[in-house]
Amino acid sequence: MERSAIRTESAGSRRRCLQGILFVLHTGIQWEWLPQELGFGSGMTCWRRLRDWHEAGVWDSLHQVLLTELHRAGKLDWSRAVIDGSHRRALRGGPKLGRARSTVPGPAPSTT
Protein backbone atom coordinates (compact mmCIF):
# COMPACT_ATOMS: atom_id res chain seq x y z
CA MET A 1 0.00 0.00 0.00
CA GLU A 2 1.37 3.41 -0.88
CA ARG A 3 1.91 5.98 1.82
CA SER A 4 -0.66 8.32 0.27
CA ALA A 5 -3.29 5.56 0.52
CA ILE A 6 -2.42 4.97 4.18
CA ARG A 7 -2.75 8.68 4.96
CA THR A 8 -6.19 8.97 3.34
CA GLU A 9 -7.66 6.56 5.88
CA SER A 10 -9.02 8.30 8.96
CA ALA A 11 -7.10 7.85 12.19
CA GLY A 12 -10.21 6.38 13.79
CA SER A 13 -10.56 3.84 11.00
CA ARG A 14 -6.91 2.81 11.34
CA ARG A 15 -7.26 2.51 15.13
CA ARG A 16 -10.40 0.37 14.86
CA CYS A 17 -8.67 -1.91 12.34
CA LEU A 18 -5.60 -2.20 14.57
CA GLN A 19 -7.85 -3.13 17.49
CA GLY A 20 -9.62 -5.70 15.30
CA ILE A 21 -6.28 -7.17 14.18
CA LEU A 22 -5.04 -7.41 17.77
CA PHE A 23 -8.35 -8.97 18.86
CA VAL A 24 -8.14 -11.68 16.18
CA LEU A 25 -4.47 -12.39 16.88
CA HIS A 26 -5.07 -12.52 20.65
CA THR A 27 -8.20 -14.68 20.60
CA GLY A 28 -7.30 -16.85 17.63
CA ILE A 29 -10.74 -16.53 16.03
CA GLN A 30 -11.10 -16.58 12.27
CA TRP A 31 -11.13 -13.23 10.50
CA GLU A 32 -14.68 -13.66 9.22
CA TRP A 33 -15.91 -14.31 12.78
CA LEU A 34 -14.78 -10.92 14.09
CA PRO A 35 -17.93 -9.68 15.92
CA GLN A 36 -19.40 -6.61 14.19
CA GLU A 37 -20.83 -5.35 17.48
CA LEU A 38 -17.29 -4.67 18.75
CA GLY A 39 -17.00 -1.90 16.16
CA PHE A 40 -13.73 -2.99 14.54
CA GLY A 41 -15.19 -3.25 11.05
CA SER A 42 -15.32 -6.41 9.01
CA GLY A 43 -12.79 -9.15 9.60
CA MET A 44 -11.80 -9.15 5.94
CA THR A 45 -11.10 -5.40 6.03
CA CYS A 46 -8.90 -5.92 9.09
CA TRP A 47 -7.13 -8.81 7.35
CA ARG A 48 -6.51 -6.71 4.22
CA ARG A 49 -5.13 -3.87 6.34
CA LEU A 50 -2.85 -6.33 8.16
CA ARG A 51 -1.58 -7.59 4.80
CA ASP A 52 -1.13 -4.07 3.38
CA TRP A 53 0.59 -2.77 6.49
CA HIS A 54 2.89 -5.79 6.51
CA GLU A 55 3.85 -5.22 2.86
CA ALA A 56 4.44 -1.52 3.58
CA GLY A 57 6.81 -2.35 6.47
CA VAL A 58 4.54 -0.84 9.11
CA TRP A 59 4.92 -3.77 11.54
CA ASP A 60 8.72 -3.75 11.35
CA SER A 61 8.75 0.00 12.01
CA LEU A 62 6.28 -0.33 14.86
CA HIS A 63 8.37 -3.12 16.40
CA GLN A 64 11.52 -0.99 16.22
CA VAL A 65 9.80 2.04 17.77
CA LEU A 66 8.37 -0.11 20.56
CA LEU A 67 11.75 -1.65 21.35
CA THR A 68 13.42 1.77 21.36
CA GLU A 69 10.81 3.29 23.67
CA LEU A 70 10.84 0.34 26.08
CA HIS A 71 14.64 0.34 26.17
CA ARG A 72 14.73 4.09 26.80
CA ALA A 73 12.25 3.66 29.68
CA GLY A 74 14.32 0.82 31.17
CA LYS A 75 11.48 -1.65 30.75
CA LEU A 76 13.35 -4.31 28.76
CA ASP A 77 15.05 -7.17 30.57
CA TRP A 78 17.78 -8.10 28.08
CA SER A 79 18.96 -10.93 30.36
CA ARG A 80 15.85 -12.83 29.28
CA ALA A 81 16.25 -12.11 25.57
CA VAL A 82 16.87 -15.03 23.24
CA ILE A 83 18.49 -14.71 19.85
CA ASP A 84 17.22 -17.43 17.59
CA GLY A 85 19.15 -17.84 14.37
CA SER A 86 16.56 -20.14 12.87
CA HIS A 87 14.58 -17.12 11.65
CA ARG A 88 17.40 -15.59 9.63
CA ARG A 89 19.54 -17.30 7.07
CA ALA A 90 23.30 -16.87 7.44
CA LEU A 91 24.21 -15.68 3.97
CA ARG A 92 27.94 -16.17 4.34
CA GLY A 93 27.83 -19.08 6.76
CA GLY A 94 30.12 -19.50 9.71
CA PRO A 95 33.92 -19.75 9.79
CA LYS A 96 35.46 -22.83 8.19
CA LEU A 97 37.07 -24.85 10.96
CA GLY A 98 38.86 -27.51 8.97
CA ARG A 99 38.09 -31.13 8.27
CA ALA A 100 35.11 -32.55 10.13
CA ARG A 101 35.95 -35.46 12.37
CA SER A 102 33.75 -38.52 12.44
CA THR A 103 31.92 -39.26 15.67
CA VAL A 104 31.15 -42.82 14.58
CA PRO A 105 33.45 -45.42 16.16
CA GLY A 106 35.63 -47.53 13.87
CA PRO A 107 34.53 -50.93 12.61
CA ALA A 108 34.00 -53.63 15.21
CA PRO A 109 36.93 -56.04 15.60
CA SER A 110 36.65 -59.30 13.67
CA THR A 111 35.82 -62.37 15.75
CA THR A 112 36.81 -64.95 13.12
Residue span of the structural domain in which 43 resides: 3-74
- Count the domains in the chain: 1
Q: Is residue 106 part of a domain?
A: no
DSSP 102: P
pLDDT (tens digit, 9 = 90+) per residue, 63-99? 999 999 999 999 988 888 777 766 666 667 667 767 7
Please say if the pLDDT value at position 28 is more than 60: yes
- Whole-model pTM over 0.85: no
Q: Is residue 105 part of a domain?
A: no
Average pLDDT over residues 20-26: 96
How close are the terminal C-alpha atoms of the chain, in Å? 76
Q: Is residue 111 part of a domain?
A: no
Q: Is residue 104 part of a domain?
A: no
C-alpha 51/C-alpha 8 separation (Å) is 17
Q: Is residue 58 part of a domain?
A: yes
Between CA 30 and CA 38, with CA 35 as vertex, the angle to 5 degrees is 135
